[in-house]
Amino acid sequence: METVFKLKASELNGKFIESIKSLFKNEEIEISIKPARDETDFLLGSVANREALLAAISEVKNNKNLISFSCNDFEALSNQLAGE
């Protein structure tokens, strides 16, 4: 099992540690800590990517170039792609 926790350092407390112990019982675990990356800043980081995302947002707001489908259509396509 692999689990990712995202929280502020100030939210670390004994209860959090106890929940980890409860989840993993006596298994050996590995803890890696790094600052969380802001996905929005990352996605808007390049000019080309920012322009593409903003254009896509504009199209959604203006109901342009949208694709719609039913749940049955989605399920059929999913099954087809899964080879079922």
pLDDT digits (tens, 9 = 90+) for 40-83: 888 888 999 999 999 999 999 999 999 888 999 999 999 999 98
Residues 20/29, Cβ–Cβ less than 8 Å: yes
Identity (one letter) of the amino acid at 1? M
DSSP state at residue 35: P
pLDDT for res 41: 84
**Which DSSP helix (H) or strand (E) runs through 13?**
none
Residues 70/76, Cβ–Cβ less than 8 Å: no
CB atoms within 10 A of CB 44: 14
pLDDT tens digits for range 6-47: 889 999 999 999 999 999 999 999 999 888 888 888 888 899
Task: Indicate yes or no: pTM above 0.75.
Answer: no
